[in-house]
Amino acid sequence: MSSDLSIKPLYSSSEGNCTLITVNDTHLLIDLGKSCRLITNALVDSGVYPDDVAAIFVTHGHTDHISGLQVFSKKYHTPVFCTLTSAYKIGEIAAEVSVIEENDILTLKCGAEVRALPTPHDINGSVCYRINNLKTKASVAVMTDLGRFTPSMEGFVKGVDAVLLESNYDPDMLKNGPYPPSLKQRISGGEGHLGNVGCAAAAKRLIENGTHKFILGHISPHNNTEEIAIEYFVDALASWGFSQGTDYEVQTASRLGPVKGYDL
């Protein structure tokens, strides 16, 4: 797999998350929330050998983002970057941990610039990431487990070319679903997840700021479907005057394995 900049979700849902970012032929992973075996297979299917992953950037310490980190990082001697708060949780399970603090900018030898921004998710040290190719000026972002879309997030991803954006739950499915009230409140209460409504509203602002490629991710297998998420997204943006295929492109990430993503 060769690319100046690409974003390819390998897995994305509350059952596990991992996104492959390739910058000037250097491969990075955002999160490693599935088993080492599954991630290894997904990488190989995507044309990448796991030994060639240069670094793993962890958004936060919830299990669906780090469950395969220990085995993968130690087996392939892969450096791990996360916030200091997250490092306290995962430091003992990773081969090598370096700190990228909230609001930090890290420049890699390959010409990638990695930026971290704190998110109001319900665990300390949670961040989202923006990756800029300093050579081509193209950029991508991974924005899940947001809780809510804040003005600082809007500024953080202004003008990004492609974004993996959380669309976790459908409000009606969550309301009428089997979860206890406390968990429903946790998910929708502003420090849990961004649902279909919030995702579409965030996308509107991003399109107005120059973003045209979207991947809907972290879709709940219990409170949403890919079909419902993308239908709401397209309909909501149409109501605001934005046309799919003209003003933007959209696809969904999958809980089952890699999807196409975008090459920039």
Please give the pLDDT value at position 101.
86
- Which candidate, 79, 75, 148, 86, places its Cα nearest to that of 116? 86
Selected residue with higher pLDDT from 241 and 88: 241
Please give the pLDDT value at position 209.
96
- What percent of the chain clears pLDDT 70, i.e. is strictly above it? 99
- Which candidate, 16, 61, 19, 45, places its Cα nearest to that of 164? 19
Q: Is 44's pLDDT higher than 50?
A: yes
CATH code at position 174: 3.60.15.10
The band of 10, judged by pLDDT with boundaries at 50, 70 and 90, is very high
Please give the DSSP secondary-structure letter assigned to residue 192. S
How many domains is the chain built from?
A: 1
- Identify whether the C-beta of residue 40 lies closer than 8 Å to the C-beta of residue 50: yes
Coil/strand/helix, residue 221: coil
Work out the average pLDDT over 238-263: 97
Using the structure block, give the residue that is written with the tokens 């394995």: 257
Q: Is 2's pLDDT higher than 70?
A: no
- Identify whether the C-beta of residue 19 lies closer than 8 Å to the C-beta of residue 254: no
Work out the average pLDDT over 70-88: 93
The band of 163, judged by pLDDT with boundaries at 50, 70 and 90, is very high
Computed over its alpha carbons, how large is the radius of gyration of the chain? 17
The band of 92, judged by pLDDT with boundaries at 50, 70 and 90, is confident
- Which candidate, 197, 145, 150, 151, places its Cα nearest to that of 166? 145
Cα–Cα distance measured from residue 34 to residue 29, given in angstroms and rounded to the nearest whole number: 12
Cα–Cα distance measured from residue 44 to residue 244, given in angstroms and rounded to the nearest whole number: 32
* Cα–Cα separations (whole angstroms), residue 145 to 151, 220, 235, 264: 16, 12, 23, 25
Work out the average pLDDT over 173-192: 92
Work out the average pLDDT over 92-99: 83
Please give the DSSP secondary-structure letter assigned to residue 224. -
Work out the average pLDDT over 157-177: 96
The band of 1, judged by pLDDT with boundaries at 50, 70 and 90, is very low
Average pLDDT over the chain, rounded to an integer = 95
| Model confidence, pTM | 0.96
Of the candidate ranges 4-13, 24-33, 99-108, the one whose mean pLDDT is the lowest: 99-108
Work out the average pLDDT over 22-50: 97
- Identify whether the C-beta of residue 264 lies closer than 8 Å to the C-beta of residue 14: no
What is the extent of the structural domain holding 138? 5-263
Write the CB contacts of 41 (distance below 8 Å, at least 6 apart in sequence): none
What stretch of H or E contains 217? strand 213-217
The band of 241, judged by pLDDT with boundaries at 50, 70 and 90, is very high
126-154 tens-digit pLDDT? 999 999 999 999 999 999 999 999 999 99
